[in-house]
Structure 1
Amino acid sequence: MSEPWPYRYAMHLACPRCEAIHDLDSLQQLCPCGSPLLVRYDLAGLAARWRPEDLAGRPWNLWRYHELLPLARPEAIVSLGEVVTPLIELPSLGDDMQLPRLVMKDEGLLPTGSFKARGAAVGISRARELGVTHLAMPTNGNAGAAWALYAARAGIEATIAMPEDAPRITRQECTLAGAHLTLVDGLISDAGRQVARFVEATGAFDASTLKEPYRIEGKKTMGLELAEQLGWQLPDVILYPTGGGVGLIGIYKALQELQAIGWVSGSLPRLVAVQAKGCAPIVRAWQESAHESRFWEHSRTRAFGINVPKALGDFLVLEALYATEGCAIAVSESAIDWEQRRAAQLEGTFVCPEGAAVLAAARELSASGEIPAEAKVIALNTGAGIKYPDSRDLGLPLLAPEEDLAKHHAPYGRAL
């Protein structure tokens, strides 16, 4: 990573709503029109100079795609070892769902245990490159943990606001990293208002979802990796757990860019935004054929990462769904619970609740015929199940020391 990059293809920041152009090399937040900004690249130059074989011999981490990332200098990289996450075939679970070509991309193997490491790696690297010394952000848990840890590595001060119901382990990650963590009696939207007031009062850099342009570029690498892992042949369907929606927007952006430089061809995969029935603003908007969502009152789900009642980038999520003839679906808490157990017992994979929601959606869409049995289906598990140790009551028996274990032993698979 210490060798200089011969070309930097990132050109500028563009507003997807009003089309205004903004300077790439000065600190930017939202466009004055209120929209998030997106990095635009010299895709014609990339198509002329960059080939898939150029990736041969590069380390298997997200930085192998630096031509489609915004950093100007390799020495600005802040890394904790962002591996290319595996594609895991799920034959038993797929047969159970009548989706024999079901594959899971497991983001739980990234640093900090979730896909949020991608956004933090690129976002923090770019923040350091642009001279940020103090950042602030709201979080449902995993993003704050990732940004706190990467900020510590970069020497950047971090202020984090988190709902008090967020997973306890993410609190520990933030505090151990030295971040200033405050718990909020409310939702991520309430934490966001606290952060906005703090940023206005202190001048800290606002690293909230999509209020800085580079988190999405890190999340985009999920799509780049997926395409390469499949030999530049795209799947039929990609299901993604959608709260703020940055991952889905990023995957869509990655596939569009690969299509523009000629590395993939044909129709893009149908994108499916998965939410919980207790918090489904994107689903409601999609059902109404709307282009923005409405705030979801009294939102609640144990898939805490998707408990986002109103996403700043909702219009970009919906655009991706409409453009790929995808859909949005909400699943029940009981379905999330069932699928988390089912995946562990049939495949030995401990997915996070958000990943379980995706698997539940795949099952429902298969049963309704929305996803045909022959489809190549990619389900994103966005984090490790072990990051949610307090999320469920297992109802385990408690034995006295003198009791016989055999009397309480249930057959394999009893939890189903």
Structure 2
Amino acid sequence: MHLTHLACTACAQEHDASVPQNVCTACGKPLYPQYDLAAAGRTLTKAALAARVKSLWRYREVLPVRSDADIVTLGEGLTPLLSAPRLAAKHGLAKLFIKDESLNPTQSFKARGMSTAVSMAKQFGLKKLAAPSAGNAGGALAAYAARAGIEAHIFMPADTPRANVIECRELGAHVTLINGLITDCGAEVAKRKAAEGWFDVSTLKEPYRVEGKKTLGYELAEQLDWTLPDVVLYPTGGGTGLVGMWKAFDEMERLGWIGPKRPRMFSVQASGCQPIVRAFSAGEKFAAEHIGASTKASGLRVPKAIGDFIMLDILRKSGGGAVAVTDEEMIAGVREVGAAEGLFVAPEGAATYAALKHLLATKTVGPDESVVLFNTGAGVKYLECFGG
């Protein structure tokens, strides 16, 4: 609505937002949409939100779609921010919250990004979309593409949770299983997309999925009465949720909604796939590929992320960090969170709880800090992870 242009996250080169774009044509890094925030702020006010639609499209002025007719929605966003009093009491925390993204359409946070990406694809008149997926992104792409009447071509590792594969197929997507990791699936999309006429909507390889994800940051501020938490723990594969929130915080400050204070952001990864954790510990700007990546948390099995430098910069600027947890800790965490708070969280969501334990044990997080854990999906999609 108030989109002005796209800017490279690395070299700042501007790109035309009126035509489909993937990555920066100069350096190959991700592009971010930029807005006329002064114009947006004339109608997008805190007071105006009270009467707005109960979805992420309540922040319409800072989302990229020009016409309402092109919005492809299934009611995504505005998920609950739930207090977790029993888990808080167990660990001596004053304020602990869980942002429950499992209540999105297709039962994961991926619905946010695919809603905005597919809406823009519809605006541009694109007919065929393609993406690699470890599971939930594929399901979201399949759903929103079906809603828009656009073909979806999804490439998934052969050991992707069965629920995700079935979901994609039953939503009408063309699904190809690959013996390998999500990086191998991405290579297949890249190799074939020109000949097949596909537009690539891979994580951060098109500019608009991050815009859906940034609404996590807007919602967090709104739900906490415009005071951001002290600590955010986010399960990180491709990282769009983490970088999207940071983008939202910047936009909200420029809108005059919040001040300069930011949460300390912590990336949580699996010990079997921890490129960001290793790079953070080593003080690196970019993260080397994690060779032989392996974890039951399919959403965390991303051995190399194009947005690695953005994530690492955010973790350092915020005074946060990066934590790796084992699959065993995640699976135990699913049960512990479920028994205490009644939420059947995805292993990726439970990873943030396991990471919190580490941070409390090392006194990296203090008892008086307000903490938000992100549960990015529904545990029911990962039944292979659980016995019985």
Counterpart of 1:144 in structure 2 is 138
The C-alpha deviation readout for 1:184-239, integer Å capped at 9, x for no partner, is: 10100011111111113223101111111000000111111111011111110111
- Partners in 1 of 2:263 and 2:155 — Cα distance? 35
Range with greater deviation from structure 2 (48-57 or 291-300):
48-57
Contact 1:99 1:366 in 2 (8 A): no
Counterpart of 1:89 in structure 2 is 83
- Which ranges of structure 2 fall in alignment gaps of 5 or more residues? none
Counterpart of 2:11 in structure 1 is 18
Structure 1 position 201 matched with structure 2 position 223? no
TM-score (norm 2): 0.98
| Residue 18 of structure 1, CA deviation | 1.3
Structure 1 position 126 matched with structure 2 position 128? no
Contact 1:331 1:360 in 2 (8 A): yes
Q: Give the % identical residues.
A: 48
- Partners in 1 of 2:72 and 2:194 — Cα distance? 27
Change (3 A) 1:57 1:47: closer
Counterpart of 2:251 in structure 1 is 257
| Residue 47 of structure 1, CA deviation | 4.3
| Residue 392 of structure 1, CA deviation | 2.0
Matching residue's letter, 2:219 = E
How many residue pairs get matched?
387
Range with greater deviation from structure 2 (44-53 or 175-184):
44-53
Structure 1 position 31 matched with structure 2 position 24? yes
- Partners in 1 of 2:234 and 2:170 — Cα distance? 30
- Partners in 2 of 1:50 and 1:114 — Cα distance? 27
- 1:167 aligned to which of 154, 161, 168: 161
Matching residue's letter, 1:385 = G
Backbone CA RMSD of aligned residues: 1.1
The C-alpha deviation readout for 1:116-150, integer Å capped at 9, x for no partner, is: 00011111011100111001110001001100111
- Partners in 2 of 1:266 and 1:40 — Cα distance? 19
| Residue 100 of structure 1, CA deviation | 3.2
- Partners in 1 of 2:149 and 2:55 — Cα distance? 22
Structure 1 position 68 matched with structure 2 position 62? yes
- 1:106 aligned to which of 100, 103, 108: 100
| Residue 319 of structure 1, CA deviation | 1.3
- 1:244 aligned to which of 238, 243, 252: 238
Structure 1 position 184 matched with structure 2 position 178? yes
| Residue 48 of structure 1, CA deviation | 5.3
Q: Is the partner of 2:98 in helix, strand or coil?
A: strand
- Partners in 2 of 1:330 and 1:26 — Cα distance? 39
- Partners in 2 of 1:66 and 1:157 — Cα distance? 26
Matching residue's letter, 1:11 = T
- 2:39 aligned to which of 42, 45, 48: 45
| Residue 49 of structure 1, CA deviation | 5.3
Contact 2:77 2:112 in 1 (8 A): no
- Partners in 1 of 2:47 and 2:94 — Cα distance? 31
Range with greater deviation from structure 2 (290-299 or 80-89):
80-89
Counterpart of 1:335 in structure 2 is 329
Contact 1:85 1:107 in 2 (8 A): yes
Change (3 A) 1:58 1:47: closer
Counterpart of 2:264 in structure 1 is 270
Matching residue's letter, 1:314 = D
Q: Which has the larger radius of gyration?
A: 1
- 1:229 aligned to which of 217, 223, 230: 223
Contact 2:331 2:385 in 1 (8 A): no
- Partners in 1 of 2:195 and 2:337 — Cα distance? 47
- Partners in 1 of 2:130 and 2:341 — Cα distance? 39
Counterpart of 1:308 in structure 2 is 302
- Which ranges of structure 1 fall in alignment gaps of 5 or more residues? 1-7, 395-416
Contact 1:76 1:129 in 2 (8 A): yes
- 1:295 aligned to which of 282, 289, 294: 289
Counterpart of 1:9 in structure 2 is 2
Contact 2:5 2:14 in 1 (8 A): yes
Range with greater deviation from structure 2 (90-99 or 203-212):
90-99
Structure 1 position 285 matched with structure 2 position 279? yes
Contact 2:44 2:59 in 1 (8 A): no
- Partners in 2 of 1:265 and 1:92 — Cα distance? 31
| Residue 41 of structure 1, CA deviation | 1.0
Contact 1:245 1:313 in 2 (8 A): yes
Change (3 A) 1:38 1:170: same
Counterpart of 1:358 in structure 2 is 352
The C-alpha deviation readout for 1:75-120, integer Å capped at 9, x for no partner, is: 1111111141001111111222232311000000000000000011
